Amino acid sequence: MTVNRRQFLGAATVGIAGLYAPALVGQAKPRLVVVGGGPGGATVSKYVARDSQGAINVTLVEPEANFVTCFHSNLYLGGYKKFDEITHSYDALTKKYGVNHARKRAVRIDRDAKVVHLDDHSTLSYDRLAIAPGIDLKYDSVPGWGKEFETVMPHAWKAGPQTQILHKRLMEVPDGGVIVMIAPPNPYRCPPGPYERVSMMAHVLKTTGRGKCRIIVLDPKESFSKQGLFQAGWEKYYPGMVEWLGPKIHDGIKSVDPKTNTVVTGFETYKNCALVNVIPAQMAGQIAQEAKLAAPGGYCAIDAASMKSAADPNIYIIGDASIAGDMPKSAFAANSQAKVAANSIRGELTGSRVFPAKYTNTCWSLIDTDDAVKVGGAYEPKDGKISATETYISKVDESADLRKQTQGENMGWYSGIVADMFS
């Protein structure tokens, strides 16, 4: 192909504009404020700061000094990981990439003035805002339970102290004790998460001489992610230990009583449980609700091509808080969405080239030592939503070698993705 002078100059202009042209002409450095330092927020902060090479001022609003990952918190419960190994610092974001870390909580967003109000009464102005606050729990979704009872009946659906409480309580369950897990209704963070947790609980009980314990899963859903794979695994490794009851069997979760560790369903009352793990219904983090970015279902609608809020062109919504079409709420998904958002934000603020959005996700689950399964896919914007272009799932009858290899991928994925987010 020959290129004439006019085409060459045109291409060169695009190239130079792609690198240097500031979209917000006449202003000092454009400002990106990011709310939430989980997989979504940490990734978008890092990628915008790193790839704009100082051309965009990036401030991450996150009250915590470290981030504890929910992903692989089940492996911590199962004894495969230490708590330190799922805890990550923001140091590289600040020291290596120049991200400002405001250790505050965002309490209000003034969308007209483009200002975020923080809990110390200070404010941050933005040109673009990325919100990745994860989920908040619907404390009133399980009758009798509430925030004041989350120590007695832990959820451990936000990692940190809750994860450690659940771990401690699990270690105290006596042989023969009954554990009840109340699983969440859709849509919720990490579709296979509750069932991987059941596997890890059973593994730890079995390997510490408590094989007479029973884990009863009361599910509001008729079916669940990787159901055939999990149920075959429970049968194989933990016979008689796990009972999964769907709504037609338990006839509704009527109430819990944290004082007596009792769970009442339409079918049966479980008294004096050794442990009750309540995973309630969920919604986008409070700040997204407060800013009126959430739809009636509790999550935030986005533009599938950019992760931009459907309600506000200056705001991006990343990760669990978003309505991401066919993508599940996962750390892998949040990381993938953050890269699409970072590319779009840099394009808007510096004129750099914006590539078509492509997303990926895989969720691995460990059932027992060296036996992991996975589900995943590739996704693109189609008809206004993020749609799967390819999907895959492990098979019930696959070989032990393949399961072991899948667990190898799982461990490798964790190391790779936390490095991509935090180092």
Q: Does 334 bind ligand FAD (CB under 6 A)?
A: yes
Per CB under 6 A, which region of 9-17, 36-44, 47-55, 203-211 contacts ligand FAD?
36-44
Interatomic CA distance for residues 322 and 307, integer angstroms: 8
**Nearest approach, Cβ of 106 to ligand FAD (angstroms)?**
4
Interatomic CA distance for residues 65 and 72, integer angstroms: 20
Q: According to CB under 6 A, which one of 162, 330, 343, 407 is a site residue for ligand FAD?
A: 330
**Nearest approach, Cβ of 5 to ligand FAD (angstroms)?**
48
Q: Report how far apart, in Å, the C-alpha atoms of 114 and of each of 40, 118, 138, 317 are.
A: 21, 13, 28, 15
**Nearest approach, Cβ of 307 to ligand FAD (angstroms)?**
11
Interatomic CA distance for residues 367 and 200, integer angstroms: 7
Nearer to ligand FAD, 354 or 411 (CB): 411
Q: According to CB under 6 A, which one of 187, 191, 319, 376 is a site residue for ligand FAD?
A: 319
Q: Which helix (H) or strand (E) holds 386?
A: strand 385-393
Q: Does 309 bind ligand FAD (CB under 6 A)?
A: no
Q: Per residue in 43-62, is it b (16+ CB within 10 Å) or e — as a string?
A: bbbbbbbbbbeebbbbbbbb
Nearer to ligand FAD, 30 or 376 (CB): 376
In the block, tokens 């947790």 appear at 197
Q: According to CB under 6 A, which one of 127, 150, 303, 320 is a site residue for ligand FAD?
A: 320
Nearer to ligand FAD, 173 or 338 (CB): 338
Q: Please state the length of the chain.
A: 423
Alpha helices in 143-246 (DSSP H): 161-172, 193-207, 227-237
Per CB under 6 A, which region of 51-59, 319-327, 372-380, 389-397 contacts ligand FAD?
319-327
Q: Does 67 bind ligand FAD (CB under 6 A)?
A: yes
Q: Does 181 bind ligand FAD (CB under 6 A)?
A: no
Q: Does 61 bind ligand FAD (CB under 6 A)?
A: yes
Cβ–Cβ < 8 Å for 265, 252: yes
**Nearest approach, Cβ of 92 to ligand FAD (angstroms)?**
16
Classified as helix, coil or strand, 68 is strand
Per CB under 6 A, which region of 18-26, 67-75, 230-238, 388-396 contacts ligand FAD?
67-75
Q: Does 323 bind ligand FAD (CB under 6 A)?
A: no
Interatomic CA distance for residues 77 and 82, integer angstroms: 9
In the block, tokens 């799967």 appear at 388
Interatomic CA distance for residues 314 and 239, integer angstroms: 53
Contacts of 109 (CB under 8 A, 6+ apart): 115, 116, 117, 129, 131, 287, 290, 291, 315
Q: Does 134 bind ligand FAD (CB under 6 A)?
A: yes
Q: Per residue in 106-122, is it b (16+ CB within 10 Å) or e — as a string?
A: beebebeebebbbeeee
Identify residues 222-281 at the interface with ligand FAD (CB under 6 A).
none
**Nearest approach, Cβ of 313 to ligand FAD (angstroms)?**
21
Identify residues 41-60 at the interface with ligand FAD (CB under 6 A).
41
Q: Does 75 bind ligand FAD (CB under 6 A)?
A: no
Q: According to CB under 6 A, which one of 33, 34, 35, 276 is a site residue for ligand FAD?
A: 35
Per CB under 6 A, which region of 68-76, 90-98, 199-207, 351-359 contacts ligand FAD?
68-76
Q: Does 38 bind ligand FAD (CB under 6 A)?
A: yes
Residue of 324, 287, 274 whose CA lies nearest to 62: 287
Helix and strand element counts for the chain (H, E): 11, 25
Q: Does 30 bind ligand FAD (CB under 6 A)?
A: no
Beta strands in 240-307 (DSSP E): 242-245, 253-257, 262-265, 269-270, 275-278, 282-284, 300-303
**Nearest approach, Cβ of 197 to ligand FAD (angstroms)?**
6
**Nearest approach, Cβ of 4 to ligand FAD (angstroms)?**
48
Sheet architecture: strand order including 300-303:
100-102, 57-61, 31-35, 128-131, 315-317, 308-309, 300-303, 322-323
Upper half-sphere CA count for residue 144 (Cβ side, 13 Å): 18
Per CB under 6 A, which region of 64-72, 177-185, 242-250, 370-378 contacts ligand FAD?
64-72
Q: Does 331 bind ligand FAD (CB under 6 A)?
A: yes
| Number of residues binding to ligand FAD, judged by CB under 6 A | 38
- Name the site residues for ligand FAD (rule: CB under 6 A): 35-41, 61-64, 67, 70-71, 73-74, 105-106, 132-134, 157, 189-190, 193, 197, 285, 287, 319-321, 329-332, 334, 363-364
